[in-house]
Structure 1
Amino acid sequence: MPLDGWSLTLLLIVTSFTSALLAMGGLYLLPGRAAARPARGIFSLGEDDIVFLLDGDRIVDATPAARLLLDQGETGAQTGVEARLFAYLAAQFPGLRPQLEELAETGSFTCTGGGPRRLHLRAEWCEGLTRLTLLDPEAEGQVVTVDALSFRAATDELATLRAVMEHAPMLIWREDPAGAVTWANRAYLLRAAEGTDDLGWPLPALFASDHRKAARQRLQHSTASGGQEGWFDCETLPLGEDLLCFAVPADATVQAELSLRSFMQTLAKTFAHLPIGLAIFDRQRRLQLFNPALTDLTALGAEFLSARPTLAAFLDQLRDRQMLPEPRDYKTWRQQFTEMESGTPGHYEETWTLPSGQTYRVTGRPHADGAVAFLVEDITEEITLTRRFRAELEIGQAVLDALDEAVIVFSAAGVVTMSNRAYARLWGTDPAATLAEVGLADTLRQWQQACLPDPVWSDFPRRLGARADWTGAVTLRDGRALHCRIAPLTGGGLLVGFSSASGAGNGRHDLGLVGIPA
């Protein structure tokens, strides 16, 4: 059947179209040739997808949502976006770092993070680059609508919290169960950046793991360059499986403690050579300081005193070892210490006479801060000497009282120190019975009033000042004659004696009572 022009033209078009389809089909169906797939670009996803493209640890590109995530994680410290990214990922996906290092061999992996959100992370190896996709399974297919005021309030609160954390003067950081630092505030990052020009991820651990053993502990930190060293009071709080750590600078406190310790050591060395026992109790009434003399005087062992006993236990031990005078009422006696502990004015001072014959002087002084110090001094020799001296004085007074001669003794200052009974009978006065001091001038005036005028009395002061042996005679107003003598004593003293002139030859001195005129 012959073909007209239109039919021929239509045939040629169909033939050409069929040849093109066959050619295209042959392209995809050739044996040994796989169908080519267009490469997925990072921006082929939606704007809400969070995708990062990394070259090693360096971010090559990121979606707008991913950039927004990095901006929200801004810490304010001088760290790169890579550090902020890995800080966020390490907090959400513990143990992610080793998996990323093996990504070139595995090709891809998917992991699920911890926490209430349970985020998914998809990692893929794309021709030398790492492609990370972060997915929130709860938010897939959902549209979250937030009004402008609520969003603004949330944003302001976030800014406030971030400013508080970044301007906090203490070091704050977060650790995972393995002890790796997953987040840190500005103070921590600035401290970690000292001595180094490049602070990367993972963040260095400034402190050893000792702070995880106790809720509060003092730690020491020095930078890598060794240029700065500091002390911190560290406190940890559990945050799920992680730890939230706080480190407050404590250099001033440590320096004060070292100064106090040095001062206490100086005091201890000084008190170690004192023969007086010293015991200092703090406001909780525990022994804080004692010297070796206290162990010698109280017979308490150094082990017992080093255990910081309380004041009550200290006194009870002294009582058990018979180092206390046994009072009639031990509770009342203890009440004196209670009153002293309460900060009442004055101080406690008492002489303890022990059953062993020793004598202690115990002094207790309370302080304004609640502490109390006890001084224990052995005064046995002092008491013995005092008693011996007192006994000698009593013997000397008895000897003077046995004499018939009226005797009076003046000190170097011209004050009457002693007289005998014969003197009191003769002149009608006893200087020892007078509380006030009796001087030489008053005594001389008394003598003159009881005697007749005589040139001896005008010369008597000069004789006393000459401090030489002298004898003379005076006459009482009743007509009796008295023999008077002056004898100097050692130490600047003077002895003046009066005896009856009539009995001087036979050794008898009958001195009666003299009436002194008014």
Structure 2
Amino acid sequence: MSLHGIGLVLLAVLTGTLSVLLAVGLIRWWDRGPGRRGPRLPQGVDGSLKPMVLLFRNQVLVDATPSARALLDRISAPEGEWARLLQWIGPRFPDAIEGMSRIDRTGRFECLGQSGTGSAALRLLAEQVDSGLLRITLTDPQAEHAGIVVDSMSQQAMEEELDLLRRSLDQTPMLVWRQDAEDRVTWANAAYLRKAEAQADEPIGWPLPRLLDSPRPVPGAGTRTRRASLNQNGAVFWYDCHSHQIGDQVMMFALPADAAVRAERSLREFVQTLTKTFADLPIGLAIFDRQRHLQLFNPALIDLTNLPTGFLTARPTLFDLLDKLRELRMVPEPKDFRSWRQQMSNLESSAATGHHVEEWSLPGGQTYRVTGRPHPDGAVAFLFEDITSEMTLTRKFRAELTLGHSILDNLGEAVAVFAPGGQVVMSNRAYRDLWPGADSLGDAMACWNAHADAGPGVEALAARLIQPGEGLRDSGLMVGPQGQLLGWAVAKLPAGRQMVRFRLPDAASPSQAGDQPLLANAAG
């Protein structure tokens, strides 16, 4: 190739290189033009993370880097920069507070923080520069000498969500805290901090005191629950504690349970009162659930039925209990087993649907009243009451009444007893035969006037019964329904009642002999 050809080739290569360089320069200039610039580092970020450095003299802040001051400004709960720093350090560096307390002897302390979900492992370096002068440096080993660019919109969204979560946890009435593997409290919400401050006599520090003996979750068993108490100034507060394992940390949630504890205590005292009351009742009590298994009974049931205590504590069914009573001859003697089962089935169904009462006349001469009543949720209660003495007294009273009526019926006089309202409360057969239909004072007076001739004797009897008092006669004579001569006498009884007796004149007393003129007048 000639020299002229070689020169043309070199000229072409040089021209192409210059064209590429010019194009790249134009592209870069265009990208960096107004409105077309690429992503820039946030303000204050120069491509490397600066460590946070704080300088304290006798626990008073002397100087700090801007990032360290910003960190302290975000922690607003405790008073003083030292207390706020310890609050931030405590959950992240469990050994730092104890290590810095020995800084006067060691002169230097360094540790790595515990890594948590979504957070990097931090490094803390505490150095004693001079007597009473302490320098604390916080760095991120994983991000040293590396710039971090954060999308402003994403960061704002995360900060808003974090603020919402913090406010929610601080405003919740339940206590929330986190414990590490050594049961040290590494984080707590505002409610927990308030309780801890109320418990302590002096300002609290990290690690925070444990307030409740909460359960630790068993690996693979999920959440565990336990009730614990907190004694504060003489008052006892109850909490339902729930624990949940998160990595090597345990999250604790304590829900206030004072209302539930009060309700349970009230229910327990009420049940104890009922139990004592049932134990003193002379009536046997047996309560069966909806499956008809015995759930509750009192000692009187054992005394009345002679059922074994072991049999009752085994919670037999209703029909098992009735069969046992049949074996002990503590039920009415049935004609056959089929009728017995039908009778007991009717007893159970009647008691379950409404109030049911039966009287059992036992072979031993005793009489029991069995009452069945429905209870909530399909349960049923049976009450066994010994009414033998009551039935004996009733029979005796009825026998005495029958005897009294027999004596009255065998008297030769017609006797009737009038109540203050005029009703006939008692009469014998002779009165009913003499004056039929005279069941009240008005009917009796109408009957006397209809069957007997009106005369002074009838008028005196009517006046005596209508207006009892002094000055009226208590006896007299009148004409009977068949024209016979009758003597009458009125006697006062308790409760304002009056007894009237009618008798034939041959049985009249001598005091009534003076009534013959009245009889003559009555007979006309």
Counterpart CA distance in 2 for 1:380 and 1:78 is 83
Q: Can you give the 5+ residue segments of structure 1 that lack an aligned partner in the other structure? A: 1-44, 341-347, 432-437, 505-518
Residue in structure 2 matched with residue 360 of structure 1 by the alignment: 369
- The TM-score, its normalising length taken from structure 1, stands at 0.64
2:424 to 416, 419, 431: 416
CA contact (8 A) 1:280 1:372 kept: yes
Quick check: 1:219 aligned with 2:228? Answer: yes
Counterpart CA distance in 2 for 1:296 and 1:57 is 79
Secondary structure of 1:88 counterpart = helix
Cα offset, 1:202, TM superposition: 0.8
Cα offset, 1:191, TM superposition: 1.4
Cα offset, 1:65, TM superposition: 5.2
2:91 to 82, 88, 92: 88
Quick check: 1:47 aligned with 2:53? Answer: no
> Residue deviations 1:193-249, cap 9 Å, x none?
1243421111011113468799333322134xx465433332333333332222233
Matching residue's letter, 1:178? E
Quick check: 1:239 aligned with 2:243? Answer: no
Q: Can you give the 5+ residue segments of structure 2 that lack an aligned partner in the other structure? A: 1-46, 333-339, 509-524
Residue in structure 2 matched with residue 181 of structure 1 by the alignment: 185
Residues 36-435 of structure 1: pairs in structure 2 closer than 5 A: 46-49=48-51, 74=75, 76=77, 80-90=83-93, 113-115=114-116, 119-122=120-123, 126-127=127-128, 133-135=138-140, 137=142, 145-194=149-198, 195-209=200-214, 215-223=224-232, 226=233, 229-255=236-262, 257-258=264-265, 275=282, 296-297=303-304, 313=317, 317=321, 320-321=324-325, 328-340=342-354, 348-353=355-360, 355=362, 356=364, 357-360=366-369, 362=371, 364=373, 377-402=385-410, 405-411=413-419, 414-429=422-437
The 1:313/1:283 distance shift into structure 2, 3 A limit, reads: closer
Counterpart CA distance in 2 for 1:62 and 1:330 is 91
Cα offset, 1:460, TM superposition: 0.7
Matching residue's letter, 1:87? G
Identity percentage of aligned residues: 37
Matching residue's letter, 1:85? W
The 1:271/1:335 distance shift into structure 2, 3 A limit, reads: closer
CA contact (8 A) 1:110 1:123 kept: yes
Q: Mean Cα displacement is larger for which, 267-276 or 226-235? A: 267-276
Matching residue's letter, 1:451? A
Counterpart CA distance in 2 for 1:287 and 1:114 is 59
The 1:293/1:82 distance shift into structure 2, 3 A limit, reads: farther
Q: Mean Cα displacement is larger for which, 235-244 or 142-151? A: 142-151
The 1:377/1:330 distance shift into structure 2, 3 A limit, reads: closer
Matching residue's letter, 1:442? D
> Residue deviations 1:467-498, cap 9 Å, x none?
9974634232x54x143443637546544444
Counterpart CA distance in 1 for 2:100 and 2:118 is 22
CA contact (8 A) 1:175 1:243 kept: yes
Secondary structure of 2:177 counterpart = strand
Secondary structure of 1:192 counterpart = helix
The 1:122/1:502 distance shift into structure 2, 3 A limit, reads: closer
Matching residue's letter, 1:395? L
The 1:370/1:231 distance shift into structure 2, 3 A limit, reads: farther
> Residue deviations 1:389-442, cap 9 Å, x none?
12322333344445565443334654212334444433343x7xxxxxx32232
CA contact (8 A) 1:234 1:247 kept: yes
CA contact (8 A) 1:463 1:470 kept: no
Secondary structure of 1:328 counterpart = helix
Secondary structure of 2:161 counterpart = helix
CA contact (8 A) 1:77 1:186 kept: no
- The TM-score, its normalising length taken from structure 2, stands at 0.64
Counterpart CA distance in 2 for 1:143 and 1:257 is 60
Cα offset, 1:336, TM superposition: 3.0
CA contact (8 A) 2:418 2:498 kept: yes
Q: CA RMSD in A?
A: 4.9
CA contact (8 A) 1:468 1:488 kept: no
Residue in structure 2 matched with residue 19 of structure 1 by the alignment: none
Residue in structure 1 matched with residue 29 of structure 2 by the alignment: none
Q: Mean Cα displacement is larger for which, 351-360 or 461-470? A: 461-470
> Residue deviations 1:319-372, cap 9 Å, x none?
6346666673433322234335xxxxxxx25244252513236374768x9998
Counterpart CA distance in 2 for 1:54 and 1:451 is 131
Counterpart CA distance in 2 for 1:440 and 1:180 is 98
> Residue deviations 1:76-122, cap 9 Å, x none?
566832333333314xxx66667777886697766574545684454
Secondary structure of 1:199 counterpart = coil
